[in-house]
């Protein structure tokens, strides 16, 4: 069984913290809406000036490997829906792990620039419940003649 989650990322520039509200819209029979907020400390002003965006990555296993989920620009209000598929056996918890990277153009010795990203941030986890399958509808229900 799968849970399809639609993630809405919105970046807000706060005084010393970046906040990304993430709305997870569960697309299954027992749909519910979950809101999670990701936040991180802003880097020093000189480093912030060089950052172009952040990359959010996610994976199925603590410690990785991770796949890129979305680019998050550093400026302005940003909304981008992202659909992720979390699947697993029925009636189990499934955990996914998220990390963040800061990215931008770094000056090279020859005067050029090269797009690079930081190492992964600390890991944040999200656990979702995969509901049990409903019972199959009985088929060929009938009355037996006597």
Torsion of CA 85, 7, 126, 130, to 10 degrees: -40
Write the pLDDT tens digit of every residue in 5-35. 444 444 433 334 555 544 444 443 344 556 6
pLDDT of residue 145 exceeding 70: yes
State residue 60's pLDDT score: 92
Length of the chain: 146
Please tell me whether the peptide bond between 65 and the residue prior to it is cis, using omega within 30 degrees of 0.
yes
State residue 40's pLDDT score: 79
Number of H helices, E strands in the chain: 1, 9
Lowest mean per-residue pLDDT among 44-48, 76-80, 82-86, 88-92: 76-80
Model pTM score:
0.72
Beta strand pairing call for 67-73 and 92-107: unpaired
Write the pLDDT tens digit of every residue in 85-139. 777 788 888 899 999 999 999 889 999 999 999 999 999 998 888 777 777 888 8
């Amino acid at each position: 069984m799968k849970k399809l989650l639609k993630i809405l990322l919105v970046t807000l520039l706060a005084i010393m913290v970046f906040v990304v509200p993430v709305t997870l819209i569960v697309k299954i029979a027992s749909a519910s809406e979950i809101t999670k907020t990701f936040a991180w400390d802003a880097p020093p002003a000189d480093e912030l000036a060089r950052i172009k965006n952040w990359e959010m990555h996610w994976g199925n296993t603590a410690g990785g490997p991770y796949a890129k989920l979305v680019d998050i620009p550093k400026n302005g209000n940003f909304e981008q829906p992202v659909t992720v598929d979390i699947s697993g056996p029925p009636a189990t918890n499934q955990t996914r792990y998220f990390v963040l990277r800061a990215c931008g153009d770094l000056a090279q010795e020859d005067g050029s620039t090269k797009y690079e990203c930081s190492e992964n941030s600390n890991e944040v986890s999200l656990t979702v419940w995969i509901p049990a399958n409903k019972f199959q509808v009985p088929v060929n229900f009938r009355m037996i003649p006597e």
